[in-house]
């Protein structure tokens, strides 16, 4: 019979995997060891932890609750005995899955993580550039970047900065169509809009001390902030862009701001990871590097 700590460790690996075979591969053990540990734990607690069929496994509601508590316990015990230098850990190899919004992922993370990959050739990155909210457990995500509030209390998150939003347009468009005085004036002007891929609806524009404004007839709608930014730069319409996108072009004179008195409260920029037991050295290393990158104001200073 397994000791209880090892039983919980194997169970946590199974809870974070799509199959016992995958869990075994992560821990360097056999699927039979995972199966035995789960069976012994089910007998110990008197509850079914996984539904099993020919297509795979599905954790039960009781199993999900137990896994949350078990991860904390296993992590706490591991910390008592973890005194090694993480950078000398033999786990500095393997895959790290990352998800980030497209402007940050494309423009900044890929370029600035390249030196880390060269320094540690055993680390492989899978960078998902998406504006959709990804389930970190279902998608097996190790590290995520998000602008705005995090709704999952199970995440370990670091706020690394603030993201401001500006209403901007080209000087030529402002000269031709006029400068809006209040947010409502935008309804009579050409605008761009961003589609929320999670809901299929247009993102509203936010302003200080006023209700969000939903555009009724934007000139261009895209689900990609990069496309929207390009459209604003082309003079198609007014757009509400993040400071990461807009500020380089404001400094160069390609864009000008309007409605400055109505600028909304900045949103937090987070780097997060799921709470899933001990964190491998490769994930700690990449997580800390992303925090360092996105905490540095100079990361966003240069034009894209």
Lowest mean pLDDT among 10-24, 26-40, 136-150, 233-247: 136-150
Give the residue with greater pLDDT, 206 vs 16. Answer: 206
The per-residue pLDDT of the chain, averaged, comes to: 85
* Tokens read off for 99: 């998800």
Q: Where in the chain is the domain with CATH 3.40.190.10?
A: 90-159+268-300, 165-265
CATH class of 4-81: mainly alpha
**All residues at 6 or more sequence positions from 31 whose CB lies less than 8 Å from its CB, including other chains:** 19, 20, 21, 23, 24
Q: Is the pLDDT of residue 92 over 90?
A: no
pLDDT in tens, 20-56: 888 887 777 888 889 999 999 999 999 999 988 766 7
For range 116-133, the mean pLDDT: 83
Q: How far apart, in Å, do the first and last CA atoms of the chain sit?
A: 58
Q: Provide the 3-class DSSP secondary structure of residue 11.
A: helix
Give the residue with greater pLDDT, 204 vs 74. Answer: 204
CATH fourth-level superfamily of 165-265: Periplasmic binding protein-like II (3.40.190.10)
**Following CA atoms 62, 64, 68, 70 in sequence, which dihedral angle do they give, to the nearest 10 degrees?**
70
Q: Is the pLDDT of residue 91 over 60?
A: no
| Burial group, residue 11, by CB count within 10 angstroms (0-12, 13-18, 19+) | buried
CATH number for 90-159+268-300 (one of 3.30.70.100, 2.40.340.10, 3.40.50.300, 3.40.190.10): it is 3.40.190.10
Closest CA to 171 of 109, 250, 242, 273: 250
Q: Is the pLDDT of residue 243 over 50?
A: yes
Is this prediction's pTM over 0.75?
no
For range 157-161, the mean pLDDT: 89
Tell me what pLDDT residue 101 has: 87
Tell me what pLDDT residue 79 has: 64
Give the residue with greater pLDDT, 103 vs 214. Answer: 214
Q: Is the pLDDT of residue 11 over 50?
A: yes
pLDDT in tens, 256-272: 999 999 999 999 999 98
The residues pairing with 238 across neighbouring beta strands, listed in sequence order, are 191
What is the rounded distance in angstroms from the CA atom of residue 287 to the CA atom of residue 285?
6
| Burial group, residue 221, by CB count within 10 angstroms (0-12, 13-18, 19+) | middle
Question: Is the distance from CB of 205 to CB of 212 less than 8 angstroms?
Answer: yes
Tell me what pLDDT residue 2 has: 60
For range 101-119, the mean pLDDT: 85
**Residues 126-130: contacts with CB under 8 Å, at least 24 apart:** 126/95, 126/96, 126/97, 126/98, 127/98, 127/99, 127/100, 128/97, 128/98, 128/99, 128/100, 129/99, 129/100, 129/101, 129/102, 129/105, 130/99, 130/100, 130/101, 130/102, 130/197
Q: Where in the chain is the domain with CATH 1.10.10.10?
A: 4-81
Q: Is the pLDDT of residue 217 over 80?
A: yes
Tell me what pLDDT residue 131 has: 66
* Tokens read off for 218: 């934007």
Q: State how far the alpha carbon of 203 is from the alpha carbons of 170, 200, 222, in Å.
A: 22, 9, 10
Q: Is the pLDDT of residue 89 over 50?
A: no
> How many CA atoms does the CB half-sphere of 147 hold within 13 Å?
22
Percentage helix, strand, coil, to 5, in the chain?
45, 25, 35
Give the residue with greater pLDDT, 79 vs 135. Answer: 79
Q: Provide the 3-class DSSP secondary structure of residue 84.
A: coil
For range 91-103, the mean pLDDT: 84
pLDDT in tens, 191-211: 999 988 777 889 999 999 778
């Amino acid at each position: 019979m397994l000791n209880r700590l090892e039983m919980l460790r194997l169970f946590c690996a199974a809870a974070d995997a799509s199959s016992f075979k995958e869990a075994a591969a992560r821990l360097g053990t056999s699927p039979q060891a995972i199966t035995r540990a789960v069976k012994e734990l089910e007998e110990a607690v008197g509850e079914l932890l996984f539904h099993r069929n020919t297509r795979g496994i599905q954790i039960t509601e009781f199993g999900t609750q137990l896994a949350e508590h078990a991860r904390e316990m296993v992590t706490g015990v591991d910390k008592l005995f973890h005194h090694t230098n993480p950078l000398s850990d033999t786990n500095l190899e393997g895959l790290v899955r990352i998800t980030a919004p497209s402007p940050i992922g494309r423009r900044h993370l890929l370029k600035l993580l390249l030196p880390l990959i060269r320094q540690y050739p055993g680390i492989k990155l899978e960078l998902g550039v998406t504006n959709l909210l990804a389930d970190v457990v279902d998608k097996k995500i190790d590290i995520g970047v998000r602008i705005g509030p995090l709704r999952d209390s199970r995440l370990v998150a670091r706020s690394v900065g603030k993201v401001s939003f500006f209403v901007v347009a080209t000087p030529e468009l402002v000269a031709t169509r006029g400068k809006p005085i209040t947010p409502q004036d935008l309804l009579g002007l050409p605008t761009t809009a961003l589609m929320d891929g999670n809901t299929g609806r247009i993102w509203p524009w936010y302003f200080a001390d006023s209700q969000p404004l939903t555009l009724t007839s934007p000139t261009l709608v895209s689900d990609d902030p990069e496309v929207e930014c390009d459209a604003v730069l082309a003079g198609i319409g007014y757009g509400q862009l993040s400071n990461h996108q807009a500020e380089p072009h404001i400094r160069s004179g390609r864009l000008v701001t309007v409605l400055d008195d109505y600028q909304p409260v900045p949103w937090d920029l987070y780097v997060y990871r799921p709470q899933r037991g001990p964190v491998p050295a490769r994930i700690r290393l990449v997580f800390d590097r992303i925090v360092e990158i996105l905490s540095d104001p100079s990361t966003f200073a240069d034009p894209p």
